[in-house]
Structure 1
Amino acid sequence: MDKILLNQMMFYGYHGLFPEENKLGQRFLVDTELMLDLKKSSRSDDMHDSIDYGEVYHVIKEIMEGEPKNLVEAIAEAIADELFQSFNLLKACKLTVTKPDPPIPGHYQSVAVEIYRERNE
């Protein structure tokens, strides 16, 4: 399956379980793999035969900077749902939502959730 990738999109959101996360907010990173057939668009050179990644970014931004969610898992699922609703050509997607600075003690680079979803036809 062909892919469109959007890597390391950075957003500031107010998601999390702890009150300070909801009040102060924090950075989130999102990586997205969109699976679809790109044969037609690669030959036609017409955006109508593909998925506009500028529109994908906007969909993800609305969720990431919108209504707070408790869990990173819920953020990823909401993004997947909205992508399928917004883009008919999308067959499957893989999303990684990374929280670089979660409020938990320890030494680590980040925490993240990765999901893979296919269109239910």
Structure 2
Amino acid sequence: MSDAFTGDRIILNDLGFFGYHGVFPEEERLGQRFYVDLELGIDLAQAAATDDLAASVNYGKIYEAVEAAFTGRRMKLIEAVAHNVATALFEAFPPIRWIKVRVRKPEAPIAMVRGYAAVELHRVRGEA
């Protein structure tokens, strides 16, 4: 793991969304449930010392930004969904230094008895 992904972080797991992302026509027509897990690298020292929300990032606002990015447009690949989420979070919250975003698709159209298909992107602000 890169040193860029160390330090303080805000973690949100199992954010559930219904969407129409996917390659197949059935996915576009019927939709399915997706789950998003996030780790957001942000210096939380001032928030911890002052107990002041203004020194952190509001979890509710994070959720709203993820929901808007997730539902804003249909995409074929969950890789693109994850990228869209990361980009939206960097744009909405300047204090975020790095992001790990995982998009899980438990009903992927593959022959699996249990589990899920997922992608995880690691992004650092200012890097491609």
In structure 1, runs of 5+ residues without a counterpart are none
Deviations 1:23-64 (A, max 9, x none): 100000000001111001111211111111100100111122
What fraction of aligned residue pairs are identical, expressed as a percent?
Answer: 42
Corresponding residue of 2:22? 16
Corresponding residue of 1:55? 61
Secondary structure of residue in 1 paired with 2:27: helix
After superposition, the CA RMSD in angstroms is 1.1
* Alignment coverage as a number of residue pairs: 121
CA contact (8 A) 2:96 2:125 kept: yes
Secondary structure of residue in 2 paired with 1:33: strand
Corresponding residue of 1:74? 80
TM-score, length basis structure 2? 0.90
TM-score, length basis structure 1? 0.95
Secondary structure of residue in 2 paired with 1:37: coil
Corresponding residue of 2:3? none
Paired amino acid for 2:33: R
Paired amino acid for 2:111: P
Displacement of 1:107 in angstroms is 3.0
Secondary structure of residue in 2 paired with 1:54: helix
Corresponding residue of 1:111? 117
Secondary structure of residue in 2 paired with 1:31: strand
Select 1:65's aligned residue among 62, 67, 71.
71
Looking at structure 1, the residues matched to 30 and 15 of structure 2 have their Cα atoms a distance apart, in angstroms, of 20
Q: Does 1:7 align with 2:13?
A: yes
CA contact (8 A) 1:14 1:21 kept: yes
Corresponding residue of 1:99? 105
Looking at structure 2, the residues matched to 31 and 72 of structure 1 have their Cα atoms a distance apart, in angstroms, of 13
Corresponding residue of 1:45? 51
**Runs of at least 4 residues off by over 4 Å:** none
